[in-house]
Amino acid sequence: MAWVDMTVRPDGPSIAVIMPAFNESSRIEQTIATVARYRAANADAIRAVFVADDGSSDDTIEVATRAAEREGTQIEILSFPHRGKALTVRSAMLDVADRTDAEYLMMIDADDELRIDQLDRVQWSADPRAIYIGRRDHEAKGAARPTPVRQLMSLVMRTASRVLLGLPYRDTQCGFKLFPRSIAHDLFSQQRSTGWTFDAEVLFIAHRVSHLPIVEVPVVWSPRGVSRVRPLAAAISGLALFGTAWNRVRGAYRPVPSRAIDQPRPATIES
């Protein structure tokens, strides 16, 4: 396991928020409001907000834009053809990593089930390579308990990730993650997964291939509506872990080069 320098930074890093969304018109308004208010209170931290639209067929973009205008915050819409969350996140990460000066890229879901103020729970390491991943704390005050079906899905995924990929993390699929911008392009350019398990693949490249430090952050999950991940779809996607394991065997992944950490990419976004 990678060593993590847990010396706490006196101040947090600057962050660009990336919010993947597909037909979220009924929920993204609240999420934009939550992000805008947190950003207003933490202006030095939240540099930019991007909504990565996965080819929505509803008015997700319009609702998000109106909400941002009403809250007095700036967002940028990244429009992609509908290909699923995995490829939308990959495309957005590659795009933003090359254009922002933020130290970290944050992936957060558009449903506001994991609120952005969970950032207050992060103890920032002095190690600039550290990746932060949410771990839903179901025992925390105000936290929701998952249904038996979701518990089973999580158990299967956790076990498969540990056995096939050697990942020791309890919640690889949590939609709350932060990646150093300087290495995000090198990580996500290697992503091959197009389904539900793309998080595990990226974490595998980071942890087992590149030996980067990964810090788990306990976060509070507050569900809004019915989960879109069905047990059958999760089971089928889980089989993709065999593909990641095979890619490992055939040497398809490469370590993130040290230059990506030592030499941040040039900044061109101002927001």
Pick from 180, 159, 181: which is nearest to 170 by CA? 159
88-141 pLDDT per residue, tens: 999 999 999 999 999 999 999 999 999 999 999 999 999 999 999 999 886 666
Residue 209: the pLDDT is 96
> pLDDT confidence of 6, banded at 50, 70, 90?
very low
Q: Name every residue whose Cβ is closer than 8 Å to that of residue 232 and which is 6 or more positions away in sequence.
A: none
What are 136's strand-pairing partners? 219
Dump pLDDT digits (tens) for 33-67.
999 999 999 999 999 999 999 999 999 999 999 99
- pLDDT higher than 80, residue 238: no
For 70-100, how does the pLDDT look when each residue is reduced to its tens digit (9 = 90+)? 999 999 999 999 999 999 999 999 999 999 9
Among the listed residues 129, 99, 93, the one whose alpha carbon sits nearest the alpha carbon of residue 3: 129
DSSP 231-255: HHHHHHHHTHHHHHHHHHHTT---P
Each residue's pLDDT tens digit, 164-192: 999 999 899 899 999 999 999 999 999 99
User: Considering the entire predicted model, what is its pTM?
Assistant: 0.88
Dihedral over Cα of 156, 203, 110, 114: its sign: positive
Q: Which domains does the chain have, with CATH numbers?
A: 15-262 (3.90.550.10)
pLDDT at 39: 97
Q: Does pLDDT of 8 surpass 60?
A: no
> Which among 256, 243, 163 is positioned nearest to 213, based on CA atoms?
256
